Amino acid sequence: MSPDAIPMSTGRYGSNAGQPLTRRDGVLKVTGRATYAADNTPDGLLYAVTAVSTIARGRVAFLDVAAAEAHPGVVAVMTPANRPPLFHDPEEKMPPFGFRVEVLQDDGVRYVNQPIALVVAETLEAATEAAVLLAPRYAAEPARTDRASGERYAPPAVGVGGSPRTAHGDLDAGFARAARIVAAEYETPAQYHNAMEPHAVVAAWDGDKVTIDMPNQAMALSCAAYGAYFGIPAENVVIRSPFLGGGFGSKAILNGPQLLAILAARQLGRPVKLALSRAQMYGPVGHRGQTWQSLRLGVDEDGRLTALHHHSLSATSSFDDFLEPAANAALPLYASPAILVEHEGLRLDTGTPGPMRAPGEASGSAALEIAIDEAAEACGMDPLVFRLANYAETEPGSGRPFSSKALRECYAEGAKRFGWSKRPLQPRQMRDKNGFLLGWGMGTAVFPCPHFPASARATLRADGSALIETAGADMGQGAWTALAQIGAEALGLDPDQVEFHSGLSTLPDGGVAGGSGHTASAGLALHEAGIDAIARLTELALNDPASPLYGAGNIGVTARNGRLHRRDDEARSEAYADILTRAGAREVVGTAKSARDPAVAAAHAMYSHGAVFAEVTIDPDLGQIRATRLVGAFAAGRIINPLTVRSQYYGGMIWGASFALHEEAVTDHRTGRIMNADLAEYHVPVNADVPSLEAILVPEDDAYVNPIGVKGVGEIGVTGTVGAIANAIWHATGVRVRRFPVRIEDFLAV
């Protein structure tokens, strides 16, 4: 494999964007030929293992370094006493996604699983055994692990630089004129990414240059950050990330263990590999922070909102400030003349939370969608009718028009396919064939449409094929397939004729693979690079007297099926290969940098929308809950690949079921340890847990979100599903759940 590019095999695909093509990387993955970071074994490789804290707060009083160093095969033991210097202070954040990291800067302990030493050895076994021999002793302090023991504070920001408070209208006046007020508190747990591929790194230095194999969602930003930490130019850092076994936001952020491994490789002059164990991923690489959310809704006699107040107490670490922006979920969705959302922080002795699959929207919509259902119940209204009564024609608060919004169509299509019209209004009215309680619920899905600056390159070759390049990331969402389709369409070629290179930081910056914005961002760059390449090819033809296109400058040409055609006479055309051959050129290269027009962005509210309908059954004797059917209808602009888009919607809805019924990090409040830091006890759904899934792709055209009309689909499926399942549980039992995951004991003897 060339060190300059990581090509994806092409195979035979459909004609252009919009086709349900199978994944380009699929065969490599299912046959085991895909190379993940930890699969790399360069010559002279050493193995690193982090020794981690077993207390949540205090300091390391003793490490038996001598015993570890004496173990056969051990090459080095790095501790705060001998760690080489870094050129950037790890306590200083590095925007835009910078976090404070633990890289043995002192003997302090701030959470369980914090790195307290790094052992490097000739074998993984030797490094693992030596890490145990360190036998740390601690000066421990009481762990702050819950709302009662944590420190509440006013945060400077939430999420990635978001405002902690947003207000529209007169809240007091809105509640004063309300006929009914619904108020309740909702709790969501800490959750961990648990991607199939653990965080790993293989680092090899050559002088002041370093090559890093690692799963990475933001290569250009990471190169700049690593360059700052090691005092070298960003271009001296090469990241290779051809395959990611899931990321969900956690692999866009630098973390301490990986930094230490790269530092050890530099110090020892040999390549070093580090792969976190499953348990070690519960701490230094981010998670979804716990929330306690209070919602207060005022409604008038007609069931229309008069005021909406959403407050979130969001947990974070004792030393950093990433807070789940949960309350912001109330801002874009329901029409209310008065809205107040506000956030408060809670400092705990835990690793710092970070972006995790719909950060803020997932936990915030879980609470909001139950509250909306409770308001509908108080008004005696069907939940769908209530939502339609409070449908926002423009963005609440700002009044900006939506760039597009087919939410009404999502409601209609989803309800029709689900059979919602047959739903009785009152709870406990339905049973399945086994006599189990049966309930139907719904939730609205919404997610913003970010755009990250991105670059791309498109090369048309003399043999009629093409190469398109951008340093993007595919975590399993099918991005490389969709991006290749976008590039092929811009070039007027079948995807079979297009070679796609990605996953390497020396390629043009593909932006951030996160926030459901990667396909739109990198895709627009590829689209514009393709247009630029066609323009350069067109110039060759129009200025060549031997070309049938000569002199057609004022008329213009179109690119289709590997040929340029005159707009006024389609029969007068010429193949790309002929144009280049006659010009004596091996290729023409187009480049582009894409960014959203700030004026268009300021004038429009940009979101994907959807509606999720859920069916649950509950054993009335045992309280066992099953989500037996999920139907989601989503509108997300132009769909590039319906096959991979459906896969993403399925994944989102499954994650929503996981949020509602399975996922929870259980903390021992005496020690701060997470007691289920493995995939045996940290529950996520399997196929049997979600037996029926359906995703409806609602057509939607958006002329403003970007020139290719693409929105994001990865995270929106989570946002409507959690509330839909909780509301279905109420419909089955008459018991309103306000804490996740829903537990069997909530329904014993219902």
Shared domain for 578 and 614, answered yes or no, is no
Shared domain for 661 and 741, answered yes or no, is yes
Q: Model confidence over 477-519: pLDDT tens digits?
A: 999 999 999 999 999 999 999 999 999 999 999 999 999 999 9
| 319 occurs within a structural domain | no
Q: Do 244 and 475 contact (CB within 8 A), yes or no?
A: yes
Q: Model confidence over 213-256: pLDDT tens digits?
A: 999 999 999 999 999 999 999 999 999 999 999 999 999 989 99
Position 133 confidence tier, pLDDT thresholds 50, 70, 90: very high
Per-residue DSSP letter, 626: E
pLDDT at 668: 96
- What is the separation of C-alpha 661 from the centre of its chain, rounded to a whole number of angstroms? 21
**In whole angstroms, what is the distance from residue 496 CA to residue 493 CA?**
8
Shared domain for 551 and 685, answered yes or no, is no
The 74-78 sheet, strands edge to edge: 74-78, 115-121, 46-52, 272-275, 200-206, 209-213, 237-240
What's the CA dihedral at 122, 128, 129, 135 to 10 degrees? 130
Last residue of a domain, one of 570, 595, 620: 595
| 77 occurs within a structural domain | no
**In whole angstroms, what is the distance from residue 546 CA to residue 536 CA?**
17
| Segments of 540-653 assigned E as strands | 557-560, 563-566, 573-575, 587-594, 607-618, 625-635
Shared domain for 580 and 486, answered yes or no, is yes
| 590 occurs within a structural domain | yes
Q: Do 187 and 314 contact (CB within 8 A), yes or no?
A: no
Residue 74 phi, psi (nearest 5): -75, 130
Mean pLDDT of 733-737: 95
Helix H or strand E segment including 75 = strand 74-78
Distances 554 to 550, 559, 567, 568 between C-alpha atoms, Å: 11, 16, 10, 11
pLDDT at 554: 77
Q: Do 91 and 352 contact (CB within 8 A), yes or no?
A: no
| 549 occurs within a structural domain | yes
Q: What percent of the chain has pLDDT over 70?
A: 98
Shared domain for 583 and 473, answered yes or no, is yes
Shared domain for 461 and 571, answered yes or no, is yes
Give Cβ neighbours of residue 594 (< 8 Å, ≥ 6 apart). Answer: 451, 453, 454, 455, 456, 521, 524, 525, 527, 528, 706
Position 1 confidence tier, pLDDT thresholds 50, 70, 90: very low
Q: Do 311 and 368 contact (CB within 8 A), yes or no?
A: no
Shared domain for 434 and 524, answered yes or no, is no
Active site positions, annotated: 715
Check whether 727 has a pLDDT greater than 80. Answer: yes
Q: What tokens does 29 get? A: 């993955």
Position 2 confidence tier, pLDDT thresholds 50, 70, 90: very low
- The amino acid that residue 183 corresponds to is A
| 589 occurs within a structural domain | yes
Q: Model confidence over 596-646: pLDDT tens digits?
A: 999 999 999 999 999 999 999 999 988 999 999 999 999 999 999 999 999
Shared domain for 435 and 569, answered yes or no, is no
Mean pLDDT of 660-664: 97
**In whole angstroms, what is the distance from residue 607 CA to residue 104 CA?**
42
pLDDT at 750: 56
Check whether 553 has a pLDDT greater than 90. Answer: no
Q: What tokens does 330 get? A: 């109330």
Beta bridge partners of 138: 60
Q: Do 126 and 72 contact (CB within 8 A), yes or no?
A: yes
Shared domain for 626 and 718, answered yes or no, is yes
Shared domain for 442 and 474, answered yes or no, is no
Position 12 confidence tier, pLDDT thresholds 50, 70, 90: very low
Mean pLDDT of 701-718: 96
| 182 occurs within a structural domain | no
| 498 occurs within a structural domain | yes
* pTM of the complete model: 0.96
Q: Model confidence over 270-301: pLDDT tens digits?
A: 999 999 999 999 999 999 999 999 999 999 99
Helix H or strand E segment including 343 = strand 339-348
Q: What tokens does 282 get? A: 């519960």
Token pair 């007691």 is at which residue?
675
**Domain count within the chain:** 2
Shared domain for 523 and 617, answered yes or no, is no
DSSP string covering 113-182, please? T-EEEEEEESSHHHHHHHHHHT--EEEE-----STTTSEEE--S-BTTTB-SEEEES-HHHHHHT-SEEE
Shared domain for 587 and 659, answered yes or no, is no
Distances 212 to 209, 240, 480, 681, 685 between C-alpha atoms, Å: 10, 6, 21, 33, 33
Structural domain of residue 728, as residue ranges?
A: 383-450+602-747
Last residue of a domain, one of 595, 622, 656: 595
CATH label of the domain that carries residue 550: 3.30.365.10
Q: Model confidence over 29-52: pLDDT tens digits?
A: 999 999 999 999 999 999 999 999
Per 3-state DSSP, the chain is made up of helix, strand and coil in percentages (nearest 5) of: 30, 25, 45
Cis peptide before 96 (omega within 30 of 0): yes
| 342 occurs within a structural domain | no
Last residue of a domain, one of 557, 572, 595: 595
